[in-house]
């Protein structure tokens, strides 16, 4: 049976476009999308309408939940908050385990989130990316998600997790350009995952400098 996975990095972040956002932020480690990021998510939802997405899995960080929630409203599909798709939990980026908003709290913001979903993978803090811990986590969450019942799905993550899942699916594929709301299609044919659409051609707004975290 042919299966399709779409990988998506979240849209533009509030703190990347508003330098003083941290000065008043209640949860400075967890920025939402900026106005441009929300437009990128809408562009992505419009593009994906013709591609049969059945469900969306997203990282628990607010910028990925915002991206997934906006797309889900366009597609009218459920969103499952999957911790295995989260940002790489580096000590240099986080002073401790991140404080995520609960799924029931997020559901009040985005009605398509299913609060009953139990994450398949719970990453440990801290993660040593250089020691291969991110690659191993991405391999585990990829195997777990492939065990779920769907034919076409969208995974919304971060630069690190999108790249790690692509590597787990198709080790021979060149590393992806993981721009904000960059979208990558992988199709399973004859037992191998093949890269189809890949890029930002679906967006009306793109970043001028590629940034991470």
Report which secondary-structure segment, H or E, holds 14: helix 14-17
- For residue 208, pLDDT over 80 is answered with no
SS3 100: coil
When pLDDT is averaged across residues 93-109 and rounded to a whole number, the result is 94
Residue 1, pLDDT > 80, answer no
Q: Is the dihedral of CA 188, 189, 192, 195 positive or negative?
A: negative
Measured CA to CA, the distance from residue 186 to residue 213 in angstroms comes to 24
Yes or no: say if 89 and 59 are a contact pair by the CB < 8 Å rule.
Answer: no
Burial of 76 (0-12, 13-18, 19+ CB in 10 A): exposed
Lowest mean pLDDT among 40-44, 65-69, 75-79, 175-179: 175-179
Averaged pLDDT, 153-163: 97
Listed residue (180, 195, 176, 196) closest to 41, CA to CA: 180
> How far is 131 from 200, CA to CA, in rounded Å?
31
Q: Is the pLDDT of residue 177 over 90?
A: no
Q: Rounded to two decimals, what is the model's pTM?
A: 0.97
Mean pLDDT in residue range 33-50 = 97
Higher pLDDT, 207 or 48: 48
Q: What is the pLDDT of residue 203?
A: 97
pLDDT exceeds cutoff 80 at 210: no
Q: Say yes or no to pLDDT of 28 above 90.
A: no
Show the tokens assigned to 189.
């044919």
Task: Tell me the C-alpha to C-alpha distance, in Å, between residue 134 and each of 16, 86, 130, 160, 212.
Answer: 24, 10, 8, 8, 15
pLDDT at 32 over 80: yes
| Contact between residue 32 and residue 62 where contact means Cβ atoms under 8 Å apart | yes
**Burial degree of 113 (CB within 10 A; 0-12, 13-18, 19+):** buried
Q: What is the pLDDT of residue 174?
A: 87
């Amino acid at each position: 049976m042919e299966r399709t996975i779409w990988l998506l990095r979240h849209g533009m972040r509030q703190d990347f476009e508003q330098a003083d956002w941290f000065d008043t932020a209640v949860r400075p480690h967890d920025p939402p999308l900026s106005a441009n990021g929300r437009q990128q998510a809408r562009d992505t939802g419009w593009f994906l309408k013709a591609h049969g997405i059945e469900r969306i899995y997203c990282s628990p960080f607010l910028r990925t939940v915002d991206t997934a929630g906006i797309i889900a409203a366009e597609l009218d599909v459920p969103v499952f908050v999957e911790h295995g798709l989260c940002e790489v939990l580096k000590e240099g980026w986080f002073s401790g385990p991140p404080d995520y908003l609960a799924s029931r709290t997020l559901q009040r913001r985005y009605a398509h989130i299913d609060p009953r979903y139990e994450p398949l993978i719970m990453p440990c803090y801290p993660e040593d990316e250089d020691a291969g811990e991110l690659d191993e986590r991405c391999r585990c969450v990829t195997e777990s998600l492939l065990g779920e019942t769907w034919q076409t799905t969208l995974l919304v993550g971060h630069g690190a997790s999108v790249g790690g899942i692509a590597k787990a699916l198709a080790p021979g594929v060149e590393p992806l350009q993981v721009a904000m709301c960059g979208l990558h299609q992988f199709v399973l044919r004859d037992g191998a995952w093949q890269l189809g659409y890949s890029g930002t051609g679906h967006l009306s707004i793109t970043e001028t400098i590629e940034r991470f975290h």
